[in-house]
Amino acid sequence: MSYQVLARKWRPRAFGELVGQEHVVTALSNALTRGRLHHAYLLTGTRGVGKTTLARILAKSLNCERGVSATPCGECSACRDIDGGRFVDLLELDAASNTGVENMREILDNARYAPTSGRYKVYLIDEVHMLSKGAFNSMLKTLEEPPEHVKFVLATTDPQKIPVTVLSRCLQFNLTPLPRALIAERLAQILRAENIVFDEAALPLLAAGARGSLRDALSLLDQTIAYGGGEVREAGVRSMLGVVDRGYLHRIVDALIASDGSALLAEADALAAAGYAFAAALDELASLFHRVAVVQAVPGAPGGDDAERIADYASRMSPESVQLAYQIVVQGRTDLAIAPDEATGFSMTLLRLLAFEPMTEGEPAPPSRGEAASTTRASATPVRAAPAPPVSSVDRHVTTIRAASSTTVAAATPAGADTPKLVLPEAAADWPAFVSKLRLNGMAAQIAAQSELKSVRGNALSLAIPATHKHLADKAYADKLKVALEAATGRKLLLAFEIGENNDGSPAAIARREREEARTASEAAFRNEPFVRDLVARFDATVRVETIEPAVREAPLPSSTRQETR
Ligand SMILES: [Zn+2]
């Protein structure tokens, strides 16, 4: 017995067998039952959603020897001839290969004559948007007043290209891509009917691969059966479709959350070694981020068999980061085609995921990835934990692109009564470290950051303020610092200010110097990175130095201090 491909064997032969497209089926069935059929239909929709199938069922409904109805018998010679594709009064025409006026005239001339064996002549013109302007024009007259015995079914994947004059003479139905669940269900039915052994888990994969087209799903199913030696196994489908094992994706997201660049790149290598296509990996990654976003928006939304992990990611990534990650991955998928090679394009996308984080306005910055990882270890820390020291060459020049004004961090807690008391520094060099321990905010932070310690004698502190910031020595501000210092040390203090020329020893000046050094180092490292060198050489690109921010920062200073030093 010869093997008949499933797509042909299981092509629906009655309206009741059609999967999906209920709105069209209902409209056509009602029209047939009431004998109020329009003379021209336009079916739109992507390939494989059932346009031709619908047209054939309609032709049977009109020509069945047992009468016009929505339930043709399927047994009479007219029904069988239509199913077999040999019914003379069903004229199937592919507009893609018959675009000219001459063709159309010939066909329409023929329409005047009565049907040969059936009740109606049914013209099925597929890909009708491909017709030339002349062909469309010659069609208009017939479309407007067709002979009683003629019905037109026009089908197209691109209704935008059809002239309005034609559109207005047709009843239009839009056929939608089939939902995955519906496709999977249909595949299961067919497999059971065919007595083919299958894994349930394989069907959603096939349904996803078919992208809304049942015909494609059935072709894939045929391939899978051939591939699996008569069985449909999940592993077989995964490797046939190149669906990436979820373990890789999970490890990629884990590395991302941990800001672990070397683990991220190692995973890219592992993917390549396992023979997966990078495009498929990016598709899967985008779909993973989509699921995370769904869970964030609708907690408790079904998340599939790795729902727990998805929920975990949803709690550890900010919604903005997830949106950005999705965007980067989808863009990376497009860029893959123009990347020097797919592996480069893929690892570049992973690096982008690592490098960029969303901007937030006004609000305290969401915990960035590195911090999220470290705060799980030391969650009691009230201020942002400093990112872990670099562990790999990639981490070293991770750049954080962020507007200068967006680093306003939540006000740090001032030292309170139950905080252990601090000891006043004795040397000027200890002043910056002491200030950072104070966790100051507002004006007190500004003045402390610009001050250099001159001397401590008993309860008397002498501080120097640069001339450029002498307004800070105003008593109102100075008192704020005094109150904070007294609270932190538990001592009554006397503060005196002198105005100096420059303050190399102030926390702000030190932070500025360190920032400059770190920036120079990151810039050099960034410029030396092979893909950056490649970019610069290839596109004559310039590195926008101002966007490079060192991943390794000085110990956290009070937020306002940071702003001041920019
Ligand atoms: Zn029949």
Q: What are phi and psi of 278, to 5 degrees?
A: -65, -35
Contacts of 187 (CB under 8 A, 6+ apart): 203, 206, 207, 217, 218, 221
User: What is the average pLDDT value for the chain, to the nearest integer?
Assistant: 80
- Do the Cβ atoms of 88 and 122 come closer than 8 Å? no
- Using the mean position of ligand 1's atoms as its centre, give its distance from the Cα of residue 69 in Å: 10
Average pLDDT over residues 134-151: 88
**Ligand 1: distance of its center to the CA of 85 in Å?**
14
**What pLDDT score does 401 carry?**
38
Separation of 67 CA from ligand 1 center, angstroms?
A: 8
Kindly give the distance from the C-alpha atom of residue 86 to the centroid of ligand 1, in angstroms, as a whole number: 14
Give 80 Cα–ligand 1 centroid separation in angstroms: 7
Q: State in Å: Cα 79 to ligand 1 middle.
A: 4
Residue 76 C-alpha to ligand 1 middle, in angstroms? 4
Q: How far apart are CA 174 and CA 158, in angstroms?
A: 11
What integer pLDDT is reported at residue 73 of this predicted model?
Answer: 93
> 53 C-alpha vs ligand 1 centroid, how far in Å?
16
Residue 194 alpha carbon to ligand 1 centre in Å: 26
Distance 75 CA to ligand 1 centre (A): 5
Main-chain dihedrals φ then ψ at residue 458, nearest 5 degrees:
60, -120
Whole-number Cα distances in Å, 410 to 94, 372, 384, 560: 66, 16, 9, 10
Distance 203 CA to ligand 1 centre (A): 34
Q: Is the pLDDT of residue 433 over 70?
A: yes
Q: Find the mean pLDDT for residues 139-161.
A: 90
Supply the pLDDT for residue 109: 84
Tell me which of 372 and 503 has the higher pLDDT.
Answer: 503
Residue with tokens 């190149």: 242
Please tell me the distance between residue 151's alpha carbon and the centre of ligand 1 in angstroms: 18
- The pLDDT assigned to 93 comes to 85
Please compute the mean of the pLDDT values over residues 368-389 and round it to a whole number. Answer: 39
CA of 113 to the centre of ligand 1 (A): 23
How far, in Å, is the centroid of ligand 1 from the Cα of 12? 15
Comparing CA positions, the residue from 304, 307, 354, 353 lying closest to residue 330 is 353
**CA torsion, points 48, 54, 55, 61, in degrees to nearest 10?**
160
Q: What is the pLDDT of residue 185?
A: 93
C-alpha 61 – ligand 1 centre gap (Å): 8
Tell me, in angstroms, the distance from the centre of ligand 1 to residue 447's CA: 93
- Strand duo 494-500 + 460-466: pairing: parallel
Q: Is the pLDDT of residue 515 over 70?
A: yes
Average pLDDT over residues 119-148: 89
- Answer whether 408's CB lies under 8 Å from 559's CB: yes
* Ligand 1 centroid – CA 306 distance (Å): 50
Of residues 349 and 244, more confidently modeled: 349
| pLDDT at residue number 532 | 67
Instruction: Report whether pLDDT(369) > 70.
Output: no
Please compute the mean of the pLDDT values over residues 371-394 and round it to a whole number.
38
Q: Residue 99: pLDDT above 60? A: yes
- The residues, ordered by sequence, that sit 6+ positions from 314 with a Cβ below 8 Å of its Cβ are 292, 295, 296, 299, 322
Average pLDDT over every residue of 243-270: 90
How far is the centre of ligand 1, averaged over its atoms, from the C-alpha of 71 (Å)? Answer: 9
Write phi, then psi, for 463 (nearest 5 degrees). -120, 150
First to last CA, the chain: 80
Q: Give the separation between CA 95 and CA 516, rounded to whole angstroms.
A: 67
Burial of 155 (0-12, 13-18, 19+ CB in 10 A): buried
* 89 Cα: distance to centroid of ligand 1 (angstroms): 14
Find the mean pLDDT for residues 174-197. 92
How many CB atoms neighbour CB 138 within 10 A?
19
3-state DSSP call for residue 64? coil
**CA 436–ligand 1 middle distance (angstroms):** 88
- Computed from CA positions of residues 369, 374, 378, 384, in that sequence, does the dihedral angle turn out positive or negative? negative
- Ligand 1: centre distance to CA 406 (Å): 72
Cα of 154 vs centre of ligand 1, distance in Å, is 23
Scored b (16 or more CB within 10 A) or e, 372-406 reads bbbeeeeeeeeebbebbebeeebbbbbbbebeeee
pLDDT at residue 68, as a whole number: 92
Please tell me the distance between residue 116's alpha carbon and the centre of ligand 1 in angstroms: 16
Spacing, Cα 70 to ligand 1 middle (Å): 11
* pLDDT category of residue 362 using cuts at 50, 70 and 90: very low
Could you tell me the two tokens for 365?
């910055």
Residue 169 has pLDDT above 50, yes or no: yes
Question: What six digits make up the tokens of 100?
Answer: 């000219």
At residue 535, the pLDDT reads 65
Per residue, what are the HEC states of 137-192? Answer: HHHHHHHHCCCCCEEEEEEECCHHHCCHHHHCCCEEEECCCCCHHHHHHHHHHHHH
Highest mean pLDDT among 224-238, 303-317, 358-372: 224-238
CA 304-310-314 angle, 5° bins: 140
* Higher pLDDT among residues 427 and 441, named by residue: 427
pLDDT of residue 390: 40
Lowest mean pLDDT among 360-374, 394-408, 433-447: 394-408
Structure tokens at 158: 């691109």
Q: Is the pLDDT of residue 210 over 90?
A: no
Q: Are 47 and 157 in contact (CB under 8 A)?
A: yes
Residue 189 banded pLDDT, cuts 50, 70, 90: very high
Distance in Å, CA 65 to ligand 1 centroid: 5
| Helices (H) then strands (E): counts for the chain | 25, 8
Residue with tokens 């940071």: 562
Task: Answer whether residue 61 shows pLDDT above 90.
Answer: yes
Measured in Å, residue 165 CA sits from the centre of ligand 1 at 35
pLDDT tier, 359 (very low <50, low <70, confident <90, very high otherwise): low
> How close is the Cα of 90 to the center of ligand 1, in Å?
14
SS3 354: helix
- Output 235 or 533, whichever has higher pLDDT: 235
pLDDT digits (tens, 9 = 90+) for 13-36: 999 888 888 999 999 999 999 988
pLDDT at residue 171 in the model: 92
> How close is the Cα of 427 to the center of ligand 1, in Å?
103
**At 407, is the secondary structure helix, strand, or coil?**
helix
Which residue's entry shows tokens 């190399």? Answer: 504
d(CA 260, CA 297): 27
Helix (H, G, I), strand (E, B) or coil at 425: coil
- DSSP single-letter state for residue 35: T
Look up the pTM and report it.
0.53
CA 179 to mean position of chain CA atoms: 19
- Calculate how far, in angstroms, residue 280's C-alpha sits from the geometric centre of ligand 1: 46
Distance from the CA of 30 to the center of ligand 1, in angstroms?
18
What percent of the chain is modeled with pLDDT above 90?
A: 31
pLDDT at 94: 84
Kindly give the distance from the C-alpha atom of residue 41 to the centroid of ligand 1, in angstroms, as a whole number: 22
Rounded to the nearest angstrom, the distance between the alpha carbon of 117 and the centre of ligand 1 is: 13
171-174 and 150-156 beta bridge pairing: unpaired
- Tokens 């779909």 locate to 287
The answer, yes or no, to whether residue 57 has pLDDT greater than 80, is yes
Distance 424 CA to ligand 1 centre (A): 100
Nearest to 152 by CA among 60, 83, 90: 90
Give the pLDDT of residue 489: 85
Supply the pLDDT for residue 387: 43
